[in-house]
Amino acid sequence: MTRPETDPTPQDDAARAGWLYYVAGMTQDQIATELGVSRQRAQRLVSKAISDGLIQVRLNHRIGACMDLEQALQHRFGLQRCRVAPGLGAGADPARAIAVAAASELERYLRQPDPLTIAFGTGRALRAMVEQFNPSGPCPHKIVSLLGNIAPDGSATLYDVISRIAERLNATYYPMPVPVISDTAQEREFFMHLRPVRNVYELARKADVTFVGVGQMGADAPLALDGFVSAEVMAELQEQGATGEIASWVYDARGRYIDSPRNALVGGVRVEPGQSQPVFGVAAGASKIKAIYAAIQGRIINCLVTDEPTAKALLAQD
């Protein structure tokens, strides 16, 4: 399968290393840690940035503007980490634009030798990310889902990602075997008290790193398009100020989860605000700007993978 134009090339890596060395002032050891490579590889990348003419008065490469945006987003919003990919232009799928950058972030954790618990939400952006990461070697990590994997009609949800990740890693994984949305609070309570579900719930709740998509709450809301909320319920949520959703939990413009009967029916783990562990929001596109901004403001996510147009729009928010 052909990877998108945003697939990092050796020159991309050299450009990033050159920027970190000459602009961010990092040592080669720090660059090696940041890029997940050896110190010798980091040194060669910095040398390549010079020999290829990428380092002049400024970084002479398209990724330089993206890295400036990364720094600006981290400074403005207090993010732990940020990756900004070049946009693919009008009409292109933003999920495709950020898939490789998101996959690169996932690979950083998969390469770690010590066992981690890595939790995942669902959605189109995460599914695109999964199709781009490169498995390498045995996987000592636990792959766990944040939310249920059963759609309203009883089928498996279309954008579940952990089964695909586990397949590519040949790793054990922990799905959440419950409906995404239960019909009643009593039904949800029953499912969530089953012993296997409790085990998965606790794993996901204590994950070392989490990757989630960010859904908007307009007419094109994924929850509505995928049949998880009716038009009537969507209208009620919008009246309550619904701005976005993460793992099917709906929140308002300040990133506060809405006290709604519908939120009480979600099967799975709610990503709590203010976590110290990395929580990556993987999202881009004009329709998602308000939802991403609210998630950052509410500290639901503390890391971000997005594209250049979305990054600029976020920085322009009041």
DSSP letter string over 63-85? Answer: HHHHHHHHHHHHHHHT-SEEEEE
Q: What number of residues does the chain have?
A: 318
- What is the C-alpha separation between 50 and 198, in angstroms, rounded? 54
Strands (E), 97-230: 117-120, 142-150, 173-179, 209-213, 215-216
Query: Per-residue pLDDT for 104 more than 80?
Result: yes
What is the reported pLDDT for 7? 56
Q: Token match 């840690």: residue?
A: 33
Question: Residue type at 123?
Answer: G
Domain with CATH 1.10.10.10 in the chain: 1-60
* SS3 category, 228: coil
Q: Would you place residue 23 in the very low, low, confident or very high pLDDT band (cuts 50, 70, 90)? A: low
CATH number of 63-315: 3.40.50.1360
Domain(s) of CATH 3.40.50.1360: residues in the chain: 63-315
Q: What is the pLDDT of residue 3?
A: 44
CB 96 within 8 A of CB 132: no
User: Of 218, 213, 264, nearest to 238 (Cα)?
Assistant: 218
| 119: confidence class by pLDDT, cuts 50, 70, 90 | very high
Q: What is the pLDDT of residue 106?
A: 94
Q: Which CATH architecture has domain 1-60?
A: Orthogonal Bundle (1.10)
C-beta neighbour count of 185 within 10 angstroms: 11
Strand (E) or helix (H) holding 177 = strand 173-179
pLDDT, one tens digit per residue, over 69-101 is: 999 999 999 999 999 998 888 788 899 889 989
Long-range interactions of 239-244: CB distance < 8 A, separation 24+? 242/217, 243/216, 243/217, 243/290, 243/291, 243/294, 244/214, 244/215, 244/216, 244/217, 244/288, 244/290, 244/291, 244/292, 244/294, 244/295
Token pair 């009480």 is found at 264
Q: pLDDT by residue (tens digit) across 237-280?
A: 999 999 999 999 999 999 999 998 989 999 999 999 999 999 99
- CA torsion 40-43-45-50 (nearest 10°) is -150
Instruction: Please give the Cα distance from 55 to 18 (Å, whole number).
Output: 7
Q: Which residue, among 5, 7, 6, 14, has the nearest Cα to 60 in the 3D structure?
A: 14
Residue 266 sits at φ, ψ, to 5 deg, of: -70, 130
